[in-house]
């Protein structure tokens, strides 16, 4: 379970998380990753927006859970259930989205194995900071309530499972949750710059986790939350260095959001994200590269090639950009050849037409020359006959 307090743990079972380096990473395309390249930002199929909205709507005002020990089917599909073990302080004490909640959590596999225990897990309700099972059910709990939650893998760690906590793929889970407190989120305008930067980075890293897991819609949501933080006004003093750091986080979020939108085939939105990133950093190679990709997917080949050439000029040794540019130039050339062939077929073959005209013109000229020569010979014969007759 990833806490909102920081990034995932570094290593487990000999594997390292892509977030452990502290740098952003970037999945340009599965076939475009080269080991000798520096990490470019971002991380990968995600729940559809319609499904997500429907589930959120159903959980907003579910049927009362009834007595203790009665199961509540939260979504009506028998895949996420909640049972009250110990009543809380009443319905009015339930937290609402946007509040920061603190819980005591025990995560068990269905065979009873304890996978993780967190005493003071804090997260913003509804921001996607934790697995869906918690985001959807904690808002139905009362302060002081203890509950048992059973969830399908779909609302937990999915087909990929997890390294920390150690969760196998497609694992159903049993969660023991106690809601300790719920407080309003801090006022972003009054938040010290260092805390605002840390909060934005935390939301961005959570977006990276969603991206890695293929939950692209959730990734877009997390990056959007981070951007709201970076764009918020500040009523406290902020140094130029802190402003630059906040701007750097914003551009990274825009780059990562564009990558997620590309995965969702939202090309216009992805292009808008790239343009926004380049407004702040016109020579941002990652934004230029991804913008070139978007333009190519929209069949704007000329602009795409120009954009990629600009990126390659800034980083001539980048093999990923070079490969993408070469592939695009070849594709554009083939398309132009196909278009020329189509135009020739529609309008006829101009070269053969001109040859026919030239042949016709040559033939007409030859006819006139033959007629003039024949006339001259005939006149010459008549003159000779007259001279001979005069002599006789």
Compute the residue count for the chain: 392
Q: How far, in Å, CA of 28 to CA of 293, rounded? A: 9
Assigned token pair, 221: 């949501």
Query: Residue ranges of the domains in the chain?
Result: 11-185, 189-344, 360-392
Output the tens digit of pLDDT for each of the chain's 392 residues.
444 443 333 333 333 333 333 335 444 443 333 333 334 444 334 444 544 555 555 555 554 444 567 999 999 999 999 999 999 999 999 999 999 999 999 999 999 999 999 999 999 999 999 999 999 999 999 999 999 999 999 999 999 999 999 999 999 999 999 999 999 999 999 999 999 999 999 999 999 999 999 999 999 999 999 999 999 999 999 999 999 999 999 999 999 999 999 999 999 999 999 999 999 999 999 999 999 999 999 999 999 999 999 999 999 999 999 999 999 988 877 776 666 667 676 776 555 555 455 555 555 454 555 555 555 555 555 455 544 455 54
Alpha carbon separation from 324 to 269, 309, 321, 334 (Å, rounded)? 21, 10, 5, 15
SS3 116: strand
The three-state secondary structure class of 246 is helix
Give CA angle at 258 (255, 263), nearest 5°: 135
pTM: 0.72
189-344 fold:
1.25.40
Rounded to whole angstroms, the Cα distance separating 20 from 11 reads: 8
Q: How far is CA 380 from CA 233, 288, 370, 377, in A?
A: 107, 84, 15, 5
The enclosing H or E element of 18 equals none
Sign of the CA dihedral with 124 first, then 186, 205, and 229 last: positive
Domain range 11-185, CATH architecture:
Roll (3.10)
């Amino acid at each position: 379970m990833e806490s909102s307090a920081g990034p995932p743990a570094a290593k487990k079972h000999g594997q390292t998380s892509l977030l452990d380096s502290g740098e952003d990473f970037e999945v340009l395309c599965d076939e475009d990753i080269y080991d000798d390249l520096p990490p470019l930002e971002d991380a990968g199929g995600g729940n559809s927006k319609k499904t997500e909205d429907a589930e959120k709507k159903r959980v907003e005002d579910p049927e009362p859970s009834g007595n203790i020990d009665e199961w509540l089917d939260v979504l009506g599909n028998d895949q996420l259930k909640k049972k009250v073990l110990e009543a809380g302080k009443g319905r009015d004490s339930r937290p609402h989205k946007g509040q920061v909640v603190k819980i005591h959590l025990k995560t068990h596999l269905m065979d009873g194995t304890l996978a993780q225990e967190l005493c003071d897990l804090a997260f913003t309700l509804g921001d996607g900071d934790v697995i869906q099972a918690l985001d959807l059910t904690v808002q139905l709990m009362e302060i002081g309530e203890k509950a048992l939650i059973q969830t399908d893998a779909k609302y937990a760690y999915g087909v990929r499972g997890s390294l920390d906590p150690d969760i196998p793929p497609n694992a159903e889970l049993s969660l023991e949750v106690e809601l300790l407190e719920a407080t309003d989120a801090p006022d972003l305008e009054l938040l010290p710059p260092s805390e605002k930067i840390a909060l934005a980075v935390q939301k961005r890293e959570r977006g990276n986790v969603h991206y890695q897991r293929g939950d692209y819609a959730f990734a877009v949501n997390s990056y959007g939350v981070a951007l709201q933080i970076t764009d918020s006004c500040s009523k406290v003093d902020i140094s130029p260095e802190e402003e630059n750091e906040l701007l750097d986080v914003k551009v990274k979020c825009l780059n990562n959001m564009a990558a997620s939108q590309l995965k969702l085939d939202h090309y216009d939105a992805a292009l808008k994200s790239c343009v926004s990133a380049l407004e702040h950093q016109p020579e941002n190679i990652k934004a230029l590269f991804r913008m070139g990709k978007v333009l190519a997917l929209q069949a704007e080949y000329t602009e795409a090639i120009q954009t990629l050439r600009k990126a390659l000029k800034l980083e001539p040794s980048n093999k990923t950009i070079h490969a993408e540019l070469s592939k695009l130039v070849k594709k554009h050339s083939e398309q132009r050849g196909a278009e020329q062939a189509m135009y020739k077929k529609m309008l006829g073959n101009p070269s053969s037409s001109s040859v026919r005209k030239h042949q016709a013109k040559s033939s007409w000229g030859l006819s006139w020359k033959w007629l003039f020569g024949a006339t001259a010979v005939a006149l010459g014969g008549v003159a000779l006959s007259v001279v001979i007759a005069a002599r006789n």
